[in-house]
Chains A and B, each alone.
Chain A
């Protein structure tokens, strides 16, 4: 029987899953991914942590709980930084320890840390320490790591070039879905979404935001569709204050925000979880700059008590406002 490694379908899953999957399956592990978030996941997670912990972390804990008796160990990597002097939010760094503290019967947690500031060797050691749980052969681990990186690059490319959402690409890679036809780009309005992937693409958290927007017949852009380096950081702050990023997890948001403002989309919808530290500053920056550029912006805050109706009402009002403005 294969060794089962559990991966919670939350937080970093959306950013790095294809990479982890390739690496672990190359080394002969079986991956167990928790089910799509549901009401039960949320309530189980929220019951275990302090009430003002951010919403996605609560969901993450819920996913961990649902995995406890289904796998032999859990993979919770820590991404401290992927660029020099750009770090991740505290909540990501303390995730394995937090999980251990609040879920008493977790399977052993495999934590590997990615920290660009500690040099290449540190990275190799971390990869080896994960791989060595399956094989002692460093060459085999290297091969798996190379393949994993390739699939990560491919994942990013597919999202950006083919205008696909993260979840769709993950399904495509796993062969659970055939390629969707290319979306019609001649729709009425283009709406840019800003927010973390684990908020926008988790339908329970985002209250089906993307589906709703698509059903209105709009063209929806998500942060991962923004071409990488479509603007140049060196030329200074095009949109003041957005130039240098500070948090690893906010990079996409800033780039997306800047891209939307630069390409003049019809409206920007920001979605942030309640009590999100980084977002509280970044959304404000994007809002200020969108305002100056004359682009409508709305920020929707979600938490476990948010009701569908509230989101829909605000969304419809916002879209009505834009379309009325366009008709004029």
Chain B
């Protein structure tokens, strides 16, 4: 059995490590490229959102490499994400591929469903094995987020441009290759130190921008055209509203226990949007409200035709809290040059705004 799964940013490292420590053969789809997207767009429905296309592209390229089992997500809810698998399966079957699709729930039986799925594809591994494999995968994802947070903070103030990006890529690779907890811990410690120890510009107070929006495009650097990296190059510190590790922990452990980790965010969004509209729409509005005063601006990422994010964007423009928002819609038609132009203009505007208000130093 050759198992494959969609990339989803850096999530593949965690999933890969979980499956590999269970002794399953894994085919990691090649990283997203122009080919992935073109291939997927050809076979996808016309008005579908970018995550669907990229996931489908990942699956096609993995099947070409010999995968015969696809791990996919299912669920019910208001967003399209939970219905992807049905259409994707039909598309792949119509293309003449022979495969098996294993589903794991996004909205119910999250943890148990995931474990059951793991048991099925790992040829009946014991529960302890599954749990420890899953725990290790989660540890890797946490480690990745850990160094990414530092990288996004330091990139804006590095003296020699490009050092951080190089180090970060090295670190990602090292985490991917770490075989056990001890080496993982050492790798993280090492790269934390190296990332923090680079030469920095003195006497600058960089702009701080919040990156929020739909989970897939926020996490996947191909989908969002490296928006955080580009902002770092422009000398802007970015912070995300969601990181995969936190999101996974919330979804898998807290929600089943009835703990709403986002209560603060939801409460902040209440005056403008009273209920969950699926996807990450509610959270996006809440993040904007909460972020006012803490950030200089916000970049709102969403796939084109995303239903929750569009509603959120419509509502967000009328909030009392006045945080400049740049909405970037990602699609196969979006060009990087267009995104960069708007990003530069946005950053310039934020700088001017700050200069006008007296160079207020952000607490760092």
Query: What is the interface of chain A, defined by CB distance below 8 A to chain B?
Result: 49-50, 52-54, 78, 80, 85-91, 93-94, 96-98, 101-102, 111, 113, 240-241, 246-247, 272, 274-281, 283-285, 288, 301
- Is B83 on the interface with A (CB-CB < 8 A)? yes
Contact of B82 among A88, A93, A246 (CB under 8 A): A246
A85-B76 CB under 8 A given contacts A272-B47, A277-B49? yes
Query: What is the interface of chain B, defined by CB distance below 8 A to chain A?
Result: 45-49, 76-80, 82-83, 86-87, 89-90, 94, 272-279, 281, 304-308, 310-315, 317-318, 327, 329
A87-B76 CB under 8 A given contacts A101-B318, A240-B90, A241-B90? yes
Shortest distance between the CB of B5 and any CB in chain A (Å): 21
A90-B279 CB under 8 A given contacts A101-B315, A274-B47, A276-B47? yes
A88 touches B48 (CB 8 A): no
Contact of A87 among B49, B77, B313 (CB under 8 A): B77
Shortest distance between the CB of A312 and any CB in chain B (Å): 21
Q: Residue of A at shortest CB range from B89?
A: A241
A93-B277 Cα distance, complex, nearest whole Å: 6
A98-B315 CB under 8 A given contacts A90-B277, A90-B281, A93-B278? yes
Residues of A within 8 A of B89 (CB): 241
A279-B80 Cα distance, complex, nearest whole Å: 10
Please name 14 pairs of A and B residues whose Cβ atoms are closer than 8 Å in the assembled complex, sorted by A.
A78-B275, A87-B76, A90-B79, A90-B308, A91-B307, A94-B275, A94-B308, A94-B315, A98-B311, A102-B318, A276-B47, A281-B87, A285-B87, A285-B90
Contact of B76 among A246, A278, A288 (CB under 8 A): A246
A241-B80 Cα distance, complex, nearest whole Å: 15
B76 touches A280 (CB 8 A): no
A50-B45 CB under 8 A given contacts A91-B307, A93-B275, A102-B318? no
A113-B274 Cα distance, complex, nearest whole Å: 11
Residues of A within 8 A of B317 (CB): 50, 101
The 8 closest A-B pairs by CB, nearest first: A280-B47, A284-B45, A94-B311, A90-B307, A101-B318, A90-B308, A277-B307, A101-B315
A288-B94 CB under 8 A given contacts A52-B305, A87-B76, A301-B46? yes
Contact of B86 among A80, A280, A285 (CB under 8 A): A285
**With contacts A54-B307, A94-B315, A280-B46 known, what are 12 further pairs, Cβ within 8 A?**
A49-B314, A93-B277, A94-B308, A97-B273, A101-B314, A101-B317, A241-B89, A241-B90, A277-B305, A285-B90, A288-B94, A301-B47
A277 touches B45 (CB 8 A): no
B307 touches A52 (CB 8 A): no
Residues of A within 8 A of B277 (CB): 90, 93-94
Q: Residue of A at shortest CB range from B108?
A: A85
A283-B87 Cα distance, complex, nearest whole Å: 11
Shortest distance between the CB of B232 and any CB in chain A (Å): 28
Shortest distance between the CB of A293 and any CB in chain B (Å): 14
A87 touches B275 (CB 8 A): no
A52-B310 Cα distance, complex, nearest whole Å: 8
Count: A-B pairs, CB below 8 Å: 119
Shortest distance between the CB of A301 and any CB in chain B (Å): 7
Residues of B within 8 A of A240 (CB): 90
Q: Residue of A at shortest CB range from B317?
A: A101
A87-B308 Cα distance, complex, nearest whole Å: 13
Shortest distance between the CB of B107 and any CB in chain A (Å): 8
Chain A interface SS verdict (over half): mixed
- Among B275, B279, B307, the most chain A Cβ lie within 10 Å of the Cβ of B307
A91-B277 Cα distance, complex, nearest whole Å: 8
A275 touches B305 (CB 8 A): yes
Shortest distance between the CB of B244 and any CB in chain A (Å): 22
Residues of B within 8 A of A90 (CB): 78-79, 277-279, 281, 307-308, 311
A127-B286 Cα distance, complex, nearest whole Å: 29
Residues of A within 8 A of B312 (CB): 94
Shortest distance between the CB of A86 and any CB in chain B (Å): 7
Q: Residue of A at shortest CB range from B84?
A: A281
Residues of B within 8 A of A96 (CB): 274
B90 touches A277 (CB 8 A): no
Residues of B within 8 A of A246 (CB): 76, 82-83
Q: Residue of A at shortest CB range from B82?
A: A246
A50-B278 CB under 8 A given contacts A101-B315, A246-B83, A280-B46? no
Q: Residue of B at shortest CB range from A85?
A: B76
A98-B316 Cα distance, complex, nearest whole Å: 9
Q: Residue of A at shortest CB range from B77?
A: A87
Residues of A within 8 A of B279 (CB): 90
Residues of A within 8 A of B329 (CB): 52
Q: Residue of B at shortest CB range from A61?
A: B314
A241-B48 Cα distance, complex, nearest whole Å: 17
- Among B49, B83, B317, the most chain A Cβ lie within 10 Å of the Cβ of B83
A85-B82 Cα distance, complex, nearest whole Å: 12
A58-B275 Cα distance, complex, nearest whole Å: 21
Q: Residue of B at shortest CB range from A275?
A: B305
A50-B307 CB under 8 A given contacts A113-B275, A277-B80? no
A93 touches B78 (CB 8 A): yes
Residues of A within 8 A of B79 (CB): 90, 277
Residues of A within 8 A of B274 (CB): 96-97, 111
Residues of B within 8 A of A101 (CB): 272, 314-315, 317-318
A270-B90 Cα distance, complex, nearest whole Å: 19
A90-B281 Cα distance, complex, nearest whole Å: 9
Contact of A89 among B46, B48, B307 (CB under 8 A): B307
Residues of B within 8 A of A279 (CB): 47
Q: Residue of A at shortest CB range from B329?
A: A52
Residues of B within 8 A of A78 (CB): 275
B78 touches A281 (CB 8 A): no
Q: Residue of A at shortest CB range from B80?
A: A277
Contact of A280 among B48, B272, B308, B310 (CB under 8 A): B48
Residues of A within 8 A of B315 (CB): 94, 97-98, 101
Residues of A within 8 A of B82 (CB): 246
A240-B93 Cα distance, complex, nearest whole Å: 12
Shortest distance between the CB of B54 and any CB in chain A (Å): 16
B278 touches A87 (CB 8 A): yes
Residues of B within 8 A of A87 (CB): 76-78, 278
Shortest distance between the CB of A263 and any CB in chain B (Å): 22
Residues of A within 8 A of B86 (CB): 241, 281, 285
